[in-house]
Chain A
């Protein structure tokens, strides 16, 4: 590679987005680990990170619900269990226990990852219409929640040319 192409590549890199915007719409194990991994890694890479928690994702900011992330075997064809069995009482709890047991060996728990993200400067936002829908108020949110906001705020981040937005 010539110095000139190397320098133009460097310049290109300089133009890379440095702000990650994530939308978390669900609070099942498989829908929460990927954005939390991206968020903490982005923060570790010097990026600004905003996470917008909406619908069931908002449970992660709920003082009462943030430790109860589960995984359901029903409607999940990748699970080694027929749907009709997954419907039986206790199957979600069983699948959750098995999955959390496996995960424990490699990753922190979700509340631990949320804590880690906060300490790294990741901003956590609660979706205001979802709060209304679920009858939640500011006092129901875990400490360290950055803001309660709506679609306009989200669009303000998402339309910034320096940002990249991912729905999970």
Chain B
């Protein structure tokens, strides 16, 4: 199985929430999974795309993949691997 298809250990739905909630909730959720496991986050805040990218870089967690659908509002999906 490819890394990007690894089954997430936890799902986090932040749809409808604005900055900083997606980042705060992601940082809390990532502590609830084991190192090496994957967290999947869904969000509708368009700021979550650059914000979670920056958050992952700052905290040293790995943003494995990021996708968005064409819905209204757009739903962004992130897969983050806890690194430490």
Q: Which residues of A line the B interface, CB within 8 A?
A: 13, 16, 37, 40-41, 44-47, 106-107, 116
Residue of A at shortest CB range from B51? A41
A44 x B23 contact (CB < 8 A): yes
What chain B residues lie within 8 Å of A46 (beta carbons)? 58-59
Give complex CA distance A44, B26 in Å.
9
Count of interface residues, chain B, beta-carbon cutoff 8 Å: 15
Return the chain A residue nearest B26 by Cβ. Answer: A44
Which B positions have Cβ atoms within 8 angstroms of A? 17-21, 23-24, 26-28, 54-55, 57-59
Q: Is the CB of A13 within 8 A of B57?
A: yes
B59 touches A41 (CB 8 A): no
CA A84 – CA B24 in complex, angstroms? 41
Q: A48 to chain B: closest CB distance in Å? A: 13
- Which residue of the partner chain, among A13, A16, A44, contacts B20 with CB atoms under 8 Å? A44
Determine if A45 and B18 form an interchain contact, defined as CB atoms under 8 angstroms apart: no
Which residue of the partner chain, among B18, B24, B27, B57, contacts A106 with CB atoms under 8 Å? B18
